[in-house]
Structure 1
Amino acid sequence: MRGAVVGVAVLGLAACGGTVDAGSGSGAGDGEQDGLVRDVAADAPLLQVHRAGGFMMPGYDFAAVPALTVYEDGRVITQGPQIEIFPGPLLPNLLVGDLTDDEVDAIVAAARDAGLLAEAPDYGQPPVADVPTTYVTLTVDGESYVHAANALDMFVDAGVDGGSDEMGQPQEIGLTPEQLEARTVLNEFLAEVEGVVPMGDGEPYDITAFAVAGRAAEGGAPADPELGPQVVPWPLEQVALADLGCVVVDGDDAATLRDALAEANQLTQFDQGGTTYEVWFRPLLPHESECPDGV
């Protein structure tokens, strides 16, 4: 029996417990466990977790890296802890670790058992605004299944009537029993994944390429001068920021850029030719070589 090869793109892991029986195997191999067979490709993403949308600063979605990426060979890229200040560091704290074959197979089995290897059900739309959406994309034997649920981590314990808010007042959630059940299944799958994956654990990920987008900075004094943007010289003369759109920077240029961004923060702007620009940087993962979709 040929098992599933799964790739998942999710916007946010559910914040709840759960475990998967991952067995006791270790090391990379041919992906066989209890009749489950996977074709192992080193740079093929098996699972991704990502959050986007909602009320965010300009450029946030462009620069956002998935919270979790699991590759078929067991490599795991997660976002590690970040200092809690504003403005925070410009680049994310990406970490890379490893899963065993059994742990990878357990994630595949959990996706199958949850019924996620099929057309997505109707997850409904709660009556909330400016809240991120969770996307789950499963890729099995070349077929992709996209699951998208807005405000997935809200109303987790609410019934169809919505229950009561913190003030004891009734709240309407606008979801049918079927939609609530679909959301519960998706949340439980993500909880099982969290039971397998060592989130925020590993060695620093070596960024070797960036997708870069920018625009001329808008004028106006900052509301708080102490939090105003710092303006630094743009380090890559060969990359013109005017009408930039999106470009991929790799090789030696990526190394130069990475060093220049080490001390930059979320409000850092860049000067080129006397013009100040807002620039956004998306570190590319091992399987990526182009700008994000929609740019």
Structure 2
Amino acid sequence: MTINRGLMTAVAVPLMLLGACARPGVAGEAGSPGSAAPVTESTTADPAAIALRVEYRGGFVPAETIPSRIPLFSFYADGRAVTEGPVTLIYPGAALPNMQEIKISPAKLTELTDAALAAGVKSGADFGTPGVADIPSTRISVVTAGGEQSVEVMALSEASPDDQSLTAAQQAARKKLTEFLGTLHAQFADAASPPAKPYQAQRLAVLATPYQETGDGMGGAPVKWPAADLPGAFLNEQLRINCLTVEGTEKDEVLALASKANERTPWESAGKKWQIKFRPLLPDEKECADLRRQA
């Protein structure tokens, strides 16, 4: 059985796990409405500039999963788009995420950014705060020639249709936004053209925490870490989350080993065992610090 991890908005976790609560509220940063034309390769020197992104923020999830979380969709100025594809429902899961990439035309990119604006992605839009807790919010941002527009909607797909905390207008706005997300999912469907292919990251972020023995043996034998000593520098000192990046031949060695590992595999480095979450960096991400935006 497979499931798209990008569609999972929340998971039941033990209360002892440290999480971060999603911000209630309605909208993201300030932005001035302008032309719906997306910032494309023809209007910017940076083909890796974001044109449209959908990502989860916050939620009551294990703290170490937040910086490793992959945006649901990232559409770039040059037409590239990246998401996380289906994964097998087993425990422990694969060590590496199944990231997929497609390439769309400038016309399609314009169509999608126009559709985002038409669906209500406008800074300051009111989607209300439903009567649910500990659910991630969905942040959608679109960059146009007139600037960025963004919204952040709590429990977009989890709120009940009869939630008394939401007005009829807010429910209608949520429905419209949900339907828009369906059009983005369709871009990566098996029948889509061109078909998706595995995403090849130039850099790989490695989020390391001290290994916690559970006694279940599910992680298997320890694997010797082939790159620079773990755990790297603190990404979040308070939560004891460390991060380093690997690239080039080091990255290739790590990926070869990780492809045979699972998410509970212990990695040995500098005389210690480490638990690792692998996070391929996206085209607009260059270093570990770029992952802090998801906190």
The two structures have a TM-score, normalised by structure 1, of 0.72
Determine the structure 2 residue equivalent to 1:182. 173
- Spell out, residue by residue over 1:7-34, the C-alpha distance to the aligned partner (whole angstroms, 9 max, x if none): xxxx8599xxxxxxxxxxxxxxxxxxxx
Whether the aligned pair in 1 keeps the contact of 2:208 and 2:230 (CA below 8 Å) is: no
Superimposed CA distance per residue, residues 23-76 of structure 1 (whole angstroms, 9 cap, x where no aligned partner)? xxxxxxxxxxxx957542522222223234334345222222223222222222
3-state SS, counterpart of residue 271 of structure 1: strand
Structure number with bigger Rg? 1
2:224–2:268: 8 Å Cα contact kept in structure 1? yes
Residues 91-106 of structure 1: matches in 2 within 5 Å?
A: 91-106=96-111
Q: RMSD of aligned C-alpha atoms?
A: 2.9
Within the alignment, does 1:108 sit opposite 2:110 as a pair?
Answer: no
Matched-pair contact (CA < 8 Å) for 1:211–1:248:
yes
Q: Provide the C-alpha distance between the structure 2 equivalents of 1:154 and 1:51, rounded to a whole number of angstroms.
A: 13
1:212 aligns with 2:203: no
User: Residue 234 of structure 1 corresponds to which residue in structure 2?
Assistant: 225
The alignment status of 1:65 with 2:59, answered yes or no, reads no
Over 4 Å off, 4+ runs = 11-14, 35-38
Equivalent in the alignment of 1:121: 125
Q: SS at 2:267's partner residue?
A: strand
Identity between Structure 1 and Structure 2 (%): 28
The equivalent residue for 1:4 is none
Instruction: Give unpaired runs (5+ residues) of structure 1.
Output: 1-10, 15-34, 163-171
Separation (CA, whole Å) in 1 of partners of 2:63 and 2:244: 18
For 2:131 and 2:185, the matched residues in 1 are separated by 28
Matched-pair contact (CA < 8 Å) for 1:233–1:272: yes
Aligned residues of 1:13 and 1:190 also touching (Cα < 8 A) = no
The 1:242–1:99 alpha-carbon spacing in structure 2 relative to 1, beyond 3 Å, is: closer
Distance 1:42 1:234, change over 3 A: same
Distance 1:125 1:36, change over 3 A: closer
The answer on whether the counterparts of 2:225 and 2:267 sit within 8 Å (CA) in structure 1 is yes
Helix, strand or coil for the counterpart of 1:263? coil
Distance 1:142 1:86, change over 3 A: farther
User: What SS does the corresponding residue of 2:249 show, helix, strand or coil?
Assistant: helix
Give the Cα separation in 1 of the matches to 2:220 and 2:268: 12
Aligned residues: 246
Aligned pair 1:271/2:268, yes or no? yes
Q: d(CA) in 1 for partners of 2:38 and 2:246? A: 37
TM-score, normalised via structure 2 length: 0.72
Alignment check: 8 A CA contact 1:90 1:261 kept: yes
